[in-house]
Amino acid sequence: MPRAIGLALGALCAGAGLSQAGAPVWAWCVMLSYCAAWPHLAYQIARRSHDPAAAERRNVLFDSLAGGFWAVAMAFNVLPTVLLLAALAMNNLAVGGSRLFGRGLVAMLLGSGAGLLSLGPNFKPETSFVTILWCLPFLLTYPTVLGQVMYRLSIELSRRKDELRLEKQRADEASAAQARILAELAARDELTNLYNRRYMGELLIRQRHLSDRTGAVFAVALADLDHFKHINDTHGHSVGDSVLQTFAQLCQGVIRGSDTVGRWGGEEFILVFPGAAAREATQAAERLREQVAAASVELPGGLRVTFTVSIGLTEHRPAEGVESTIERADRAMYLAKKQGRNRVVAH
């Protein structure tokens, strides 16, 4: 549409220039045919090209080539020549920047050369009043059309910029969500879905730093399933896995929202009780021990296997490392084993 409007307005200027220059009939026929057919042909060329932008740049260069020819056909009548060539130069800059602008100048020179060869030299730069009148619609309308096109282009660019910003935001959010999911999966034990040893170690370090800064207390418990090897050897590893999963579920049902439980290794688990002294943590550990003793896992054939847990618990001491706290909880757990299992021992 912009090319069709531009050529229609340009035809008024060129027609006035051709008339004043006394151009031959065939030049008129070529101009009218060009103005009528070229907009549709150029549109189809760009539309069917695998690279429409590159095709349109070639179309604009052909416009410049034609502009150079019409300048010669109008005998370089000053006003219509300047209007047409200036409009073409603006088109080149708008479509392809300074590079296409330079190529457009070359195309104009080539078009002028073709005009000189076919029409011969003719130089009548004076512009009559009638020609001025015929050029006024182009002079008044073309800047408005160009401004409207540029305005719509700026709106489209702004819309596309917003879309790109939104797409980037969504991509960043999806990437962050995926990273969180991957981090969560990396921190989880595959069998029990509890936190793994690496995560629990990092949690203990953070908890110790918090305690050092604020004096907040926390307790740590190590829990080991009693006679777990016997369960595996007697009933198979699938039953052993079910026992581990059942224990994990019981832990999550007993602990507070602020507490954390993880699989420390094999049949051994670790519980962290932030803000809890040994007495409060012992009560929670005792509730867990009681629920474990009352639980069972169903075997093929309808039989059920029961299991128990021995828990060693200690309160973190100021200025000590987490290794010392864990070692003390571990000694308490083995003391629970030594005292007959299925019990909680606080150190």
Question: pLDDT for 203-225, tens place per residue?
Answer: 999 999 999 999 999 999 999 99
pLDDT tens-digit readout, 81-129: 999 999 889 888 888 888 989 999 999 999 999 999 999 999 999 999 9
Three-state SS for 129? helix
HEC sequence for 8-76: HHHHHHHHHHHHHHCCCHHHHHHHHHHHHHHHHHHHHHHHHCCCHHHHHHHHHHHHHHHHHHHHHHCCC
pLDDT tens-digit readout, 177-212: 888 888 877 889 999 999 999 999 999 999 999 999
CATH class of 197-346: alpha beta
Instruction: Please work out, in degrees rounded to the nearest 5, the angle formed at the alpha carbon of residue 40 by the alpha carbons of 35 and 46.
Output: 125
* Per-domain boundaries in the chain: 2-160, 197-346
Cα separation, 75 vs 177, in Å, equals 69
